[in-house]
Amino acid sequence: MANSFQDQFLKAGLVDKKKVKQAKKSKYDKQRKQTSDEGDEAKRLAQQAMAEKAERDRELNARIKAEAEQKAIAAQVQQLIQSNRIEDTEGEVEYKFADDSVIKTVYLTPTVQQQLVRGQIGIARLGGDYALIPAAVAAKVAERDAAAIVLLNDKESDAVDEDDPYAGYEIPDDLMW
């Protein structure tokens, strides 16, 4: 078995040197092509993995940026409410308003209560408490975060309908319930 098959075929006269050389070359080419195909496949998989990683990184960066923007907006809303909060509003007049499905009560001075009814002042949520802020500030806060505004009366929306049979009977603004 010291002789290879090629040598044995040459001695037997079944093949000539040209065919042996061609067979060796084709075997070498086949191996080289197979390794290059594996290399191409590895390159393709590596590029695909890099593309997927880049996409995940883009999504993560977008999510982080969105969270940062939300935090910035929340900070702006809180700053607007705190800096424009109307102080010394506590009085003896009871004012009730709805916060989601819960009715809340605050005690105000008569002047502040009338301003709330006319829509000159709004009520904003500040943490677990409520703050009275001017209507212009409430509109700015509502642009950034509508959920922060609990109450902002709009007298224009209370316009009387032409077909309303009770149009002549106006409800007083100071009606307590």
**Any idea which of 9-18, 105-114, 115-124, 144-153 has the lowest mean pLDDT?**
9-18
DSSP state of 131: E
Highest-confidence range of 32-41, 90-99, 167-176, by mean pLDDT? 90-99
Q: What element of type H or E holds 30?
A: helix 17-83
d(CA 121, CA 108): 12
20-77 tens-digit pLDDT:
778 777 777 777 766 666 677 888 888 999 999 999 999 999 999 999 999 998 888 8
